[in-house]
């Protein structure tokens, strides 16, 4: 059944939102976040310090897209107010793992005694700090920070060995401010 949908997101103080055709720009005290929002049949506008997202005669598909865009916009607003933070822990029992940071690429050395280091690519807008056995990833973009954390976990995934015996790797402990 098709019906008209209308949702509002309040813009907090200190945050500025601009909509230029298909690009939404959110500026705040922590920085600037941009997103391409090419979505058919969904309208975005700013009125009275609110972002209004509407769709006329929307189906289930448009409703799902609207809810997805609302989540993205809320994450963008939260990110420019306070950066998203992910924490990972380096765990090893057999061979000591070392992680080095060189620009926007991290190198994981001596994982399971391997001679060839594993490499992890890091997005441009992500900050990575390595302090002993803890890796801290911060960014105003939740998607980039989460992808960087997932790249670290994926690089140390153990294949073709017993996971109960070989428990080495880099594992997420705090995900976007909440403990796992």
CATH number at residue 18: 3.90.930.12
Residues 6 or more apart whose Cβ sits within 8 Å of residue 140? 28, 30, 31, 32, 33, 79, 80, 83, 84, 125
Same domain, 71 and 94: no
| Predicted pLDDT at 163 | 81
Same domain, 70 and 116: no
- pTM to 2 decimal places: 0.89
- Per the structure block, which two tokens stand in for 39? 């979505």
Question: Which among 49, 81, 113 is the end of a domain?
Answer: 81
Same domain, 37 and 112: no
Look at the chain and report how many structural domains it folds into: 2
| Nearest C-alpha neighbor of 129 from the set 168, 180, 90, 161 | 90
pLDDT at 177 over 80: no
Domain that holds residue 116: 84-179
pLDDT at 1 over 80: no
Residues 6 or more apart whose Cβ sits within 8 Å of residue 91? 133, 167, 168, 169, 170, 171
Name the one residue in this structure whose structure tokens are 């997101």. 9
Same domain, 60 and 116: no
Same domain, 93 and 126: yes
- DSSP reduced 3-state for 80: helix
Same domain, 71 and 102: no
User: pLDDT-based confidence at 119, cuts 50/70/90?
Assistant: very high
- Per the structure block, which two tokens stand in for 6? 């209308």
| Nearest C-alpha neighbor of 145 from the set 75, 98, 81, 77 | 75
Cα-atom radius of gyration of the chain, to the nearest Å?
A: 20
Q: What confidence tens digit (pLDDT) does each residue in 83-113 have? A: 999 999 999 987 899 999 999 999 999 998 9
110 near 96, Cβ under 8 Å? yes
């Amino acid at each position: 059944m098709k019906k008209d949908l209308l949702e509002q997101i309040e813009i907090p103080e200190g945050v500025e939102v601009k909509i230029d055709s298909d690009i939404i720009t959110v500026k705040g005290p922590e920085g600037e976040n941009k997103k391409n929002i090419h979505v058919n049949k969904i309208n975005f506008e700013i009125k009275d310090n609110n972002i209004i997202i509407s769709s006329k005669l929307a189906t289930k598909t448009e409703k799902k897209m609207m809810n997805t865009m609302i989540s993205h916009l809320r994450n963008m607003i939260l990110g420019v107010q306070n950066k998203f933070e992910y924490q990972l822990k380096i765990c090893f029992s057999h061979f000591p793992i070392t992680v080095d940071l060189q620009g926007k690429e991290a190198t994981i050395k001596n994982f399971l005694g391997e001679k060839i280091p594993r490499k992890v690519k890091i997005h441009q807008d992500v900050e990575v700090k390595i302090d002993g056995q803890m890796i801290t990833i911060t960014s105003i973009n939740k998607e980039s920070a989460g992808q960087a954390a997932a790249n670290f976990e994926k690089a140390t995934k153990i294949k073709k060995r017993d996971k109960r015996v070989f428990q080495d790797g880099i594992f997420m402990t705090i995900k976007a401010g909440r403990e796992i």
